[in-house]
Amino acid sequence: MDTPGSSAPAGGLRRPVLIVAALLILGAAGLAMLALLPGEEDAWTRIRRSGSVRIGHTAEAPYAWRTPDGRVTGEAPELARAVFAQLGIQHIEWVEVQFGSLIPQLRTGRFDVIAAGMYVTPARERQIAFSHPSYCTHAALLVRHADAQRLRGYADLAQDPGARLAVLAGAVEGEAALAAGVPAGRIHAFPDPASAAQAVADGEAEALALSAPSVQWLADRDPRLRRAAEAVTAAPPEGCGAFGFRQEDRELRRRFDAQLRAFLGTPAHAALVRPFGFTPAELPPALQPAPERRP
């Protein structure tokens, strides 16, 4: 019996099954190919493959800045160079941004690491991951010579209704000043230390609050300014600086941290950061040399 009608349904059923199977195979292959695309690599795999890393920094000496001949230098960039060299990474692409843009632009992928002497704080740790600290210090005030004895800390600024405080936008000193009672209306944020120091020198602010190494660096380079008589806070250090990473880049941070920990506190590290005013006193407490015992 001729049954053309019966053969048509059987073939009609086989064709959709074959088509669906083919689509599933193609889909699986497509997903496998996507997994191999460079854009899907983790940061360390990409950096190791390319031999290049992108590092974000700001202009705040002695932590990081660009010299007139174009070299990015300072405590953080030179330390990053040393660590990545140990990891076999010789090429660094430097990206300079304002301090307040470092974390947002790290998170959006413009660069892989922050090397700017950034303080580790709980608020920042909710956004990014940090390496082991490379230094610890406290805040200090940059003032004009006439105010060096009068304005010694946040308390003096809070009590003087005419005292205006300059801070770096996004830095911790603004929050610390508010907590110490300095009114928000007398705290003025600047994009970089140079413009903030200039405001103090020009009489547009009575003081600039920054980390002690930054304040000393600025005071040494402008005869109109000096570091206030006392640090804003006493020992122990109020904060430690470290390198910043995206939270998902765990392997990159792990490898960087292992080399960093091995390097910190060595004679080579001391020689590297000494030109920027860092001494063993700025080492994280766990790396501080033991005090000498007197007979």
Answer whether residue 39 shows pLDDT above 70.
no
Instruction: Report which of 168, 219, 211 is spatially closest to residue 192, judged by C-alpha positions.
Output: 168
Q: What confidence score (pLDDT) does residue 41 get?
A: 83
Superfamily of domain 139-227: Periplasmic binding protein-like II (3.40.190.10)
Q: What's the chain's length in residues?
A: 295
**For the chain, what are the domain ranges?**
43-136+239-279, 139-227
Equal fold, 43-136+239-279 vs 139-227: yes
Answer whether residue 35 shows pLDDT above 60.
no
The model's pTM is: 0.74
Comparing 92-106, 123-137, 155-169, 228-242, which segment has the lowest mean pLDDT? 228-242
Q: What confidence score (pLDDT) does residue 288 get?
A: 58
Contact 120, 240 (CB under 8 A): yes
Residue 277 binned pLDDT confidence (cut-offs 50, 70, 90) = confident
Q: What confidence score (pLDDT) does residue 232 get?
A: 60
Superfamily of domain 43-136+239-279: Periplasmic binding protein-like II (3.40.190.10)
CA dist list (Å): 122 to 100, 240, 243, 273: 16, 12, 15, 27
Answer whether residue 87 shows pLDDT above 80.
yes
Both tokens assigned to 63: 């932590």
Q: What confidence score (pLDDT) does residue 103 get?
A: 98
CA pseudo-torsion sign 128, 132, 135, 139: positive
Both tokens assigned to 197: 């120091």
Contact 226, 148 (CB under 8 A): yes
Q: What is the pLDDT of residues 180-229, one digit of tens each?
A: 999 999 999 999 999 999 999 999 999 999 988 999 999 999 999 999 97
